[in-house]
Structure 1
Amino acid sequence: MTIIFTNIEFLDEATEDDVVSLIAHTVSQKAQYILVLMGSQSTLRIESIPAIAVATPVPLNACIIPGVIFEDHYSYKGVLVLGFKDKICSLLIPDIAASHDVLCQQLQQFVASNGTLGSAGIFVDGLSPAVEPFIATVYENLGSDRILIGAGVGDLNNRFNMCVANEQGCFSNAAIIFCLSNTVKLQVEGKHDLPQVAGPYLVTEAKDNIIYSLNYQPAADIYSDAISKVSGMDITQDEIAQHIHSYPFGLKQLNEEYLVRDIIAVNGNSLVCVGNVAENSLVYILNATKDILITAASDAGKQFAQKLQPNTAEQMHYVVLIDCISRALFLNDEYQLELNAINAQMPVGKKLAGVLSIGEIKNTDQGAIQFLNKTIVLGGL
C-alpha cells in the first residue's frame, strides 16, 4: 500500500457499468476517497456521475479532461479511477467566478480540515476566463507551504460543457481541490523549453483571455504577419488556426523563463488564449517543433528523477503527469514519442498516471501557484 494511493485503475474505453465495477473494486481496496478522470471522448457521460457518487460509500468526485495517461498509454476515450488511502477533505467549488469573499469563505473550509502544509491536487475549468483570478485566490488562502499540482479540465470541443461532478450534481466554471497528504510534500518539475522567435508585442487591448489588439493593430493581423515571416509561408488570417499549436505566446518572467499562453481560437480579429493576458503586457511568439517538445519531455523526466528521494517506489509507485493537450495535438500520432521519452527517464518502480490538460498548475520556486500552458508537470515522491 502506498502513502497516497490504494490503487489506480485504467480502461482505454469504458461503459458506465465498467466504471461502476472499477469503483467497487477501488472501494474493496479500502480507498477513502475516489477521483474519476474521464477522457472527453469517453462514452461515459458526466451526467451519470451524481447517481454513481450517491451510490458509492466514500466521497467521489469526477472531471472531464481532454485525455488520460496510464503508464505508456494515452487515451481520449479512457477513464482513470484513483483510490486514495486516507480520509481526506475534498472541496468542490461550483463557481470559480464568484466574489472574492465567497471564494475565500469556501477555501477556508479546505484549510480548516487540511491545514496549509503537505500537498494537494486541483482540477479547475481550464476554459474559464476566471481561472487565473481563482488560482490567485487559492494561493492567498493556502499559502506557499502546501505544494499544489493540477490541471485545467474541460472539453475543447464543447467549451461550455459541464466538466466537474460529485453527488450534488454537474458543474461548469467549477473546481475541485483535494488533499494528497497533510504532511508529505511532492517533488514537482515543470518544463517546456520553447524558444522565442518573434516579438515583443505590446498588448494594447485585451479582456481576460482574449487579445483584441497588439501594437494598436488587430491582434490576428499582427500574429499572421509574424508567423508568416518566421515560417517562410504566406499565412492568411483564415489559415491561422492551422498554426496556433506551433506558435503560442510567451510572457517573460523575472527568471527569464516564458509563461506560455496557448491560442485556442481565432475570433474575427481577436485571439482567444488559455489563461489571461493583461493589457500593457509584452508578449513574444514562441515556436514548438517535434524535436523541441520531445527533448524537453526527456529533460523534464530526467530532472524530475534527480529530485526524487532514493528507494521511494514502495511509498508511491506512481508519478503524476500533467501534460498539456496542445503538445499532443501538435505531435498528433507522434505524441507517443513524448510519452516514451518521459517513461525512459523514470526510476525503476515508478509508473506514470495522469492527464492531458487544458493548462497545468504548479508552484513556482518561490511558492506562488501558476497556471501554465504547453508544459509538462511531473509530481511524486
Structure 2
Amino acid sequence: MVLPEEKKNPKDMVNFLKSKSKVANDLFFIMLGEELDWDIDLFIDLCNKEEITIIGGIFPAVIKGNNLSKDDIIVKKMSATSSTTLVKNISYSPEVFYPIIDKVDMDNKQTAIVLIDGLAKGVDNYLSDLYKQVGDTVNYIGGGAGTMNLKQNPCVFCNEGLFMDAAIVCFVDSKVKLGVKHGWRNLMGPLIATKTNFNTLEELNWSSPFDLYATIIREDSGQDINRDNFLEISKVYPFGIAKENDEYVVRDPINLNEKGEITFFGEVHENVILDVLKGSKEDIIEAAQEAAKEACNNIDDVNDNLMFDCISRPLFLKDDYSKTLDLIIDTLKNGGNKKNLEGALSLGEISSHRQSYLEFFNRTILLGVFYD
C-alpha cells in the first residue's frame, strides 16, 4: 500500500487509512520499525475516534522490496472475519484465552494473523491453546514483535492499546500459501533437554548446557565461546528441535548466564530432543529461495505478499542479506507473482507449515502469499 509522504504524523496516517476504509470489516495490519519516532497512543486514539480497526507491532526493521528500514511503516489492508482477540499477561495467565471458536466461520477458509511479544515466556502455551480451539481449519501467519536490544517493552497493539507480554489474533478473509525454511543442518545430536524453565535450558544431557555446547563448538571450529563472545559465535550454532518429515524448529541462543544456562527465543520443553545445528551463508540464502518457491507454487490470483524473517538471519548474512531479498523477489516474479515484497524482521516466526501444528520458529524465513 502506497503511504502518504508525512507518514510519521499519526493524524495524516489516520486520514490516509480513513480514505482507504470502505466497509465495516476493513482491517489495517501495521508494522512499525523500532526507530520510527511516532506517538502510537495518539494514533490508536485517533483510529478509535474514526472507528478504524487496527492491529500491529513494533519490529527491529520492516522489509520493503530489497530494503530494510528501522524507521518506516508497512500497512496491509485486509478483510476481518472476526473481532480482534487480545490476550494480556500471557507469561502468567493459567488460562491463556477466552474462547474464540464461535468467532470463526468454519465454512469460510480463512487465515489467522497472529502477533505476539517475542520476548514473552508464554508463547508456546498461547499457541497451543489457540491451535486446540481452531486447529487446522485455518492457516496461520505472524511473528514476534520487539526490538533489537532484546529488552522487553510494549510492542504489540490494537484498538485497545499498546501492550507488553501480550498476543493478538485476528481472522481475515483470504487464503494464504506458506513457505517456511531456514537452511540450518545437523551438526551434533541427539541431545536431551533434561531440565528447562520456559525458554531457559538449565541442563543438557544431565550436565551444564554451556559446557557441552562449548565442547561441540570447539571440536567443530576450534573457537572458545564465552559470555563475552556468546552472541557472535552462537549465531552460527543454533539448536534445533527435530520434527518428523519437516523442518527443524530452530531455537536461537540469546543469552548465557553465570550458571551456564542458555536462554532462547521460544520455549524448550523438558526432555525434548535437541540437535546443535550449523549453516553456511549459501545454505541460508538457498533456503530463502526454497521458501519463495514453496509459497508461490501453483498459486494464481495473488493479491499480496507478507514476509517475516528472523532478526538473526541478516545478522548472520551481513552484507549478503540483500542477495536474499533480491533472490526472493526474482523467484516470486518468475512464478508470476508481481506483488511487492513487504514484511518485517521478527523475534520469532509463527506458522502452521504444511497445515501442520502451529509453531513458533526461530532463525527461519516465513513467506505468505495471499490469494483469492
Question: Do both share a fold (TM > 0.5)?
Answer: yes
Shift of 1:10: 8.4
Shift of 1:47: 4.3
What TM-score do you get using the length of structure 1 for normalisation? Answer: 0.87
Tell me the distance in 2 between the aligned counterparts of 1:348 and 1:166: 30
Q: For residue 186 of structure 1, what is the amino acid of its counterpart?
A: V
CA RMSD of aligned residues (A): 2.3
Q: Which of the residues 242, 255, 263 maps onto 1:272? A: 263
SS at match of 1:253: coil
Tell me which residue corresponds to 2:184. 194
- How has the CA–CA distance of structure 1 residues 146 and 204 changed in structure 2, closer, same or farther, with 3 Å as cutoff? same
Q: Which of the residues 263, 269, 276 maps onto 1:285? A: 276
Tell me which residue corresponds to 2:208. 218
1:138 maps onto 2:130 in alignment: yes
Tell me which residue corresponds to 1:330. 316
Tell me the distance in 2 between the aligned counterparts of 1:201 and 1:45: 47
Shift of 1:26: 2.5
Tell me the distance in 2 between the aligned counterparts of 1:186 and 1:99: 31
Q: For residue 253 of structure 2, what is the amino acid of its counterpart?
A: I
Is the 1:35–1:82 Cα contact (8 Å) retained in structure 2?
A: yes
For residues 55-97 of structure 1, give each alpha carbon's deviation from its aligned partner in whole angstroms, at most 9, with x where no partner exists: 4431223311122112222212221122234575222222323
Q: For residue 325 of structure 1, what is the amino acid of its counterpart?
A: I
Q: Where does 1:63-78 land on structure 2 (aligned, <5 Å)?
A: 63-78=57-72
Is the 2:177–2:296 Cα contact (8 Å) retained in structure 1?
A: no
Q: Where does 1:109-188 land on structure 2 (aligned, <5 Å)?
A: 111-116=101-106, 117-181=109-173, 184-188=174-178
Shift of 1:360: 0.8
Aligned length: 361
- How has the CA–CA distance of structure 1 residues 187 and 352 changed in structure 2, closer, same or farther, with 3 Å as cutoff? same
Is the 2:35–2:71 Cα contact (8 Å) retained in structure 1?
A: yes
For residues 8-29 of structure 1, give each alpha carbon's deviation from its aligned partner in whole angstroms, at most 9, with x where no partner exists: 6488x953x1x43233222212
1:54 maps onto 2:54 in alignment: no
Is the 1:10–1:80 Cα contact (8 Å) retained in structure 2?
A: no
Q: For residue 230 of structure 1, what is the amino acid of its counterpart?
A: D
Tell me the distance in 1 between the aligned counterparts of 2:118 and 2:199: 11
For residues 235-256 of structure 1, give each alpha carbon's deviation from its aligned partner in whole angstroms, at most 9, with x where no partner exists: 3454222112111001111226
Shift of 1:42: 1.9
Shift of 1:135: 0.2
SS at match of 1:63: strand
1:300 maps onto 2:291 in alignment: yes
- How has the CA–CA distance of structure 1 residues 275 and 343 changed in structure 2, closer, same or farther, with 3 Å as cutoff? same
Question: Structure 1: which 5+ residue stretches go unaligned?
Answer: 1-6
Question: Structure 2: which 5+ residue stretches go unaligned?
Answer: none
Shift of 1:52: 3.5
Q: Which of the residues 351, 364, 380 maps onto 2:340? A: 351
Shift of 1:49: 4.0
1:257 maps onto 2:243 in alignment: no
Tell me the distance in 1 between the aligned counterparts of 2:4 and 2:172: 20
Tell me the distance in 2 between the aligned counterparts of 1:120 and 1:256: 21
Shift of 1:189: 1.5
Shift of 1:280: 1.8
Q: For residue 145 of structure 1, what is the amino acid of its counterpart?
A: T
Tell me the distance in 1 between the aligned counterparts of 2:162 and 2:306: 25
Q: For residue 354 of structure 1, what is the amino acid of its counterpart?
A: G
Q: Where does 1:17-28 land on structure 2 (aligned, <5 Å)?
A: 17=9, 19-28=10-19
Q: Which of the residues 77, 85, 88 maps onto 1:83? A: 77
1:370 maps onto 2:359 in alignment: yes
